[in-house]
């Protein structure tokens, strides 16, 4: 039996997967695997070699993103709950400009694979959250693009009408400016 099919679910965006591995609870707490190299690589069809691991701790209503990286990411939430958003910005994709919204956290202990070229963002819906991700390249200034979170061309249904957004992310550009060829 192919366990990959049991735990790795496709989304409407090609190459974006939700990984729903079992969680084993007992009176002491729980145990789960959010990443199994062989299962993920079997589904992806290529090697996933993380170069960097990142941890973001945020308070309620914090919105981070939308960051478009030229590397793959595997994201999960260790504590709290978030609304995970993945936006397809791959130029040749039939779902360009579409997004997936996935609830991640303590009530839904899953992980999400975000392919290179897709936008990544999250909104904290609990009092606080710890967001963990593996990336296949090192972050350096100038490698990412940044799309404004409330772009009407994306029409994302955020779970907060008044998110806390950094000054830097408030300066992010509209999608039409980032990808003008897609709007001719």
Domain ranges for the chain, please list them.
Answer: 50-183
Residue 105 and residue 124: Cα distance in Å, rounded? Answer: 10
- pLDDT of amino acid 5: 53
- pLDDT of amino acid 1: 39
Residue 178 has pLDDT above 60, yes or no: yes
Residue 112 and residue 127: Cα distance in Å, rounded? Answer: 22
- To the query of whether residue 133 is one of the catalytic residues in this protein, the response is yes
Q: Is 128 helix (H, G, I), strand (E, B) or coil?
A: strand
Residue 107 has pLDDT above 60, yes or no: yes
% the chain with pLDDT above 90: 88
- How confident is the model over 42-65, as pLDDT tens digits? 999 999 999 999 999 999 999 999
Q: Which residues lie closer than 8 Å to 18 by C-beta, 6 or more apart?
A: 8, 9, 11, 102, 110, 111, 112
- pLDDT of amino acid 141: 93
**43-57: buried (b, 16+ CB within 10 Å) or exposed (e) per residue?**
bbeeebebeeeeebe
Q: Structure pTM?
A: 0.94
Give the other-Cβ count within 10 Å of 63's Cβ. 24
Any idea what DSSP says for residue 43?
Answer: H
CB 133 within 8 A of CB 65: no
- pLDDT of amino acid 38: 93
Which residue in the list 55, 67, 72, 149 is annotated as catalytic?
Answer: 67
C-alpha radius of gyration, the chain, whole number: 16
Tokens of 149: 């979170």
Q: Which CATH number fits domain 50-183: 2.60.120.10, 3.40.50.620, 3.40.190.10, 1.20.120.80?
A: 2.60.120.10
Whose CA is closest to 105, among 83, 135, 73, 127? 83
Which residue in the list 99, 131, 133, 149 is annotated as catalytic?
Answer: 133
Residue 99 and residue 86: Cα distance in Å, rounded? Answer: 5
CA-based max dimension of the chain: 58
- To the query of whether residue 149 is one of the catalytic residues in this protein, the response is no
- pLDDT of amino acid 23: 86
């Amino acid at each position: 039996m192919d366990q990959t099919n049991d735990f790795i679910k496709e989304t409407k965006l090609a190459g974006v997967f939700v990984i729903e591995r079992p969680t084993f609870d007992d009176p002491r707490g729980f145990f789960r695997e959010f990443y199994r190299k062989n299962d993920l690589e079997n589904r992806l069809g290529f090697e996933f070699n993380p170069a960097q691991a990142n941890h973001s701790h945020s308070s309620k209503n914090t919105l981070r993103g939308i960051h478009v990286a030229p590397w793959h990411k595997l994201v999960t939430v260790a504590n709290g709950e978030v609304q995970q958003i993945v936006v397809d910005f791959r130029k040749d994709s039939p779902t360009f400009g579409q997004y997936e919204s996935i609830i991640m956290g303590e009530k839904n202990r899953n992980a999400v694979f975000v392919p290179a070229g897709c936008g990544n963002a999250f909104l904290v819906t609990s009092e606080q959250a710890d967001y963990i991700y593996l990336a296949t390249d090192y972050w350096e200034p100038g490698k990412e693009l940044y799309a404004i979170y409330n772009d009407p061309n994306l029409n994302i249904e955020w779970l907060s009408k008044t998110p806390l957004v950094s000054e830097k992310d408030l300066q992010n550009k509209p999608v039409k400016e980032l990808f003008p060829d897609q709007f001719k």
